[in-house]
């Protein structure tokens, strides 16, 4: 029977191959799928500001929803801070990532450590906590990172994450192997558990269908546009106006709504209240309006929704109705939230070593 040192050496020898498999079979295809999704999305979006925002934020959004593996979920957890300025996206991503790690019973606050040492982390802390702490240092860096909304930049970020996880796993196993204060029995226990480390269980073949993943990513981008389209308008009828808000009205403010449509605190519409005062006969009311995304984007959403198995998103419209009437309403907002939830559920790994085809 091989000694504990020999068993740990056998794992250490395989680590470079594992790193290459993660890069080849998950990271590179994922970024290529994102690149295609963004190219198609940018073709539909006319505003340069919207395209730039998509490039800067949507990669992390896609990685948080379409995880497929602990590796991508851990990477997204390490990167989700870039969404701090987007309340809705931040909520969606954090909620999904929390559900993912709760399902995996990964209780460590350091989610990146779950990829590098998960599966043996609890026992490792009991038997070799000093080596866990020392190995985890490779996962943190205070050095500023150049940021650019390009696929090359995102690919290097994922590669850096995989490489730092490789260093962490290697440092821990090597530290355990060389530590004479850890008994042979304990080293064998850790060698047994090493087979459950997510980093040591890469896919042996391609687990990303780039075309389908690209379609799902692009659909996600549009779902956020739908969820971003609602506006709370505070208004009052002008003299002689109507309380329904039609006709002439004075608009006091218009602002985006950060709450999700399923949120019990989602804002409600309210008609203006007649007061009869001479200068201000109505107390302002509020209504919800929706930005028109355009018939071209609505057609694209319907096509992607069908291609990804989500069914028809917008109701059918004939010519010229599709150019004159925007059907977006609360039902579309609810649908957008449901689509995101279904895509996230389908892509969520069911165990630390599960790798979903996405």
Query: Are residues 17 and 138 part of one domain?
Result: yes
Give the range of the structural domain holding residue 164, as residue numbers without chain letter: 4-209
Which long-range CB contacts under 8 A does 184-190 form with residues at least 24 apart? 184/3, 184/4, 186/127, 186/128, 187/4, 187/5, 187/8, 188/4, 188/7, 189/123, 189/127, 190/4, 190/8, 190/120, 190/123, 190/124, 190/127, 190/128
User: Residues 50, 75: contact at Cβ < 8 Å?
Assistant: no
Residue 91 lies in a domain: yes
Residue 88 inside a domain? The answer is yes
User: What does pLDDT average to over the chain?
Assistant: 87
> DSSP code of 287?
E
3-class DSSP state of 97: helix
Give a yes or no: residue 137 inside a domain: yes
Same domain (yes/no): 245, 181: no
239 to 17, 215, 272: CA distances (angstroms):
75, 50, 13
Q: Is the pLDDT of residue 286 over 80?
A: yes
Which two tokens mark 87?
A: 């309340």
User: Tens digit of pLDDT for each residue in 26-85?
Assistant: 999 999 999 999 888 888 776 555 555 556 578 888 999 999 999 999 999 988 877 766
Same domain, 157 and 254: no
Same domain, 205 and 254: no
Is-contact 198 318, C-beta < 8 A?
A: no
Does residue 64 belong to any structural domain of this protein?
Answer: yes
* Residue-level pLDDT at 245: 45
- Specify whether 242 is located in the same domain as 136: no
pTM higher than the cut 0.85: yes
In the structure, what pLDDT confidence band is assigned to residue 305 with cuts at 50, 70 and 90? very high
The answer on 135 and 278 residing in a single domain is no
Domain boundary among 272, 290, 308: 290
Tell the residue number behind the tokens 């599960």, with chain if given: 354
Give the integer Cα–Cα distance in Å for 353 and 160. Answer: 21
Q: What is the DSSP string of 16-66?
A: HHHHHHHIIIIIHHHHHHHHHHHHHHHHH---HHHHHHHHHHHHHHHHHHS
Same domain, 280 and 205: no
Among 161, 176, 209, give the residue marking a domain's end: 209
Q: What is the DSSP letter of 289?
A: E
User: How far is residue 165's CA from residue 113's CA, in Å, rounded to a whole number?
Assistant: 8
| DSSP-H helix ranges across the chain | 4-22, 28-44, 48-65, 70-79, 87-103, 111-117, 121-136, 151-178, 184-193, 210-227, 295-307, 321-324, 330-347
Please give the share of the chain, as a percent, with pLDDT higher than 70: 91
- Same-domain check for residues 155 and 234: no
Residue found under tokens 């689509």: 339
Last residue of a domain, one of 253, 270, 290: 290
pLDDT tens profile 211-239: 999 999 999 999 999 999 999 999 998 76
Residue 152 lies in a domain: yes
pLDDT tens figures, 85-100: 677 788 899 899 999 9
**Whether residue 137 sits in one domain with residue 108:** yes
- Which of 246, 222, 221 lies closest to 233 in space, CA to CA? 246
Give domain status of residue 328, yes or no.
no
> Is 41:206 a contact under the CB 8 Å cutoff?
no
Residues 6 or more apart in contact with residue 279 via CB below 8 angstroms: none
Closest CA to 336 of 354, 314, 309: 314
Arithmetic mean of pLDDT, 128-157: 78
Q: Check whether residue 32 and residue 177 sit in a common domain.
A: yes
Residue 187 belongs to a domain = yes
Same domain membership, residue 247 and residue 205: no
Hey, which residues does 253 pair with through a beta bridge? 234
> Residue 201 domain-assigned?
yes
Does residue 195 sit in the same domain as residue 255?
Answer: no
- Whole-number pLDDT of residue 159: 93
Number of domains in the chain: 2
């Amino acid at each position: 029977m091989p000694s504990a040192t020999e068993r740990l050496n056998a794992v250490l020898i395989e680590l470079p191959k594992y790193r290459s498999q993660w890069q080849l079979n998950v990271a590179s295809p994922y970024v290529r799928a994102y690149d295609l999704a963004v190219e198609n999305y940018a073709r539909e979006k006319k505003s340069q500001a919207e395209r730039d925002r998509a490039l800067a934020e949507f990669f992390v959004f896609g990685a948080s929803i379409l995880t497929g593996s602990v590796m991508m979920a851990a990477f997204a957890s390490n990167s989700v801070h870039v969404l701090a300025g987007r309340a809705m996206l931040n909520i969606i991503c954090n909620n999904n990532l929390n559900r993912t790690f709760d399902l995996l019973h990964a209780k460590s606050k350091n989610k990146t450590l779950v990829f590098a040492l998960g599966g043996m982390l609890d026992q490792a802390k009991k038997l070799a906590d000093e080596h866990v702490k020392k190995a985890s240092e490779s996962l943190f860096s205070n050095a500023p990172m150049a940021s650019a909304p390009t696929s090359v930049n995102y690919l290097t970020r994922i590669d850096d994450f995989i490489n730092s996880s490789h260093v962490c796993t290697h440092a821990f196993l090597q530290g355990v192997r060389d530590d004479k204060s850890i008994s042979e029995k304990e080293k064998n226990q850790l060698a047994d558990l090493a087979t459950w480390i997510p980093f040591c269980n890469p896919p042996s073949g391609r687990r990303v269908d780039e075309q389908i993943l690209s379609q799902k990513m692009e659909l996600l981008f549009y779902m956020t546009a739908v969820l971003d389209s609602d506006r709370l308008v505070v208004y009052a009828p002008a003299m002689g106006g109507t309380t329904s808000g039609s006709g002439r009205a004075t608009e006091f403010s218009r602002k985006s709504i950060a709450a999700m449509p399923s949120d019990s605190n989602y804002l409600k519409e309210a008609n203006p209240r007649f007061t009869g005062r001479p200068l201000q006969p109505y107390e302002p009311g509020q209504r919800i309006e929706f930005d028109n995304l355009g018939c071209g984007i609505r057609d694209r959403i319907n096509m992607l929704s069908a291609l990804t198995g989500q069914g028809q998103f917008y109701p059918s419209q004939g010519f010229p109705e599709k150019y004159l009437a925007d059907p977006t309403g609360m039902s579309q907002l609810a649908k957008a939230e449901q689509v995101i939830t279904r895509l996230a559920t389908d892509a969520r790994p069911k165990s630390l070593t599960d790798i979903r085809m996405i």
